[in-house]
Amino acid sequence: MANHKSALKRIRSNEKKRVINRYQHKTTRNAIKKLRELTDANEASAALPGIISMVDKLAKKNIIHKNKAANLKSNLTKHVAAL
């Protein structure tokens, strides 16, 4: 166990951040899955900007790599355009 006050505080803050990051990452993944299942072009094009925003936020916070974010956005945009 940690001996210093700052180390104890770091453990607490890291756990809070971990839970928030996991929630945001899982929410984004679920939104992406739902978008890929859509068959209506209007619904998909309406949902795309929100999902792209979610992916950008994850990349900005280094929850996912910036290249992975770019690949996700590119593939989702292609998917919506193909509908």
Q: pTM of the entire structure?
A: 0.84
Task: Give every CB contact of residue 69 below 8 A, 6+ residues apart in sequence.
Answer: 55, 56, 58, 59
- Whether residue 1 contacts residue 28, with contact meaning beta carbons closer than 8 Å, is answered with no
Q: Is residue 27 part of a domain?
A: no
Half-sphere exposure of 73 (CA within 13 A, CB side): 18
Q: Which two tokens stand for residue 74?
A: 């590119």
Residue 1's pLDDT band (boundaries 50, 70, 90)? confident
Give the count of domains, the chain: 1
Give the pair of three-digit tokens for residue 68. Answer: 């992975």
Distance CA 7, CA 60 (A): 26
**Is there a domain that residue 23 lies in?**
no
As a whole number, mean pLDDT of residues 14-34 equals: 97
**Which structural domain, as residue segments, surrounds residue 76?**
41-83
pLDDT in tens, 58-73: 999 999 999 999 999 9
> Which pLDDT score is estimated for 45?
95
Tell me whether residue 62 is in a domain. yes
Strands in 1-82 per DSSP E: none
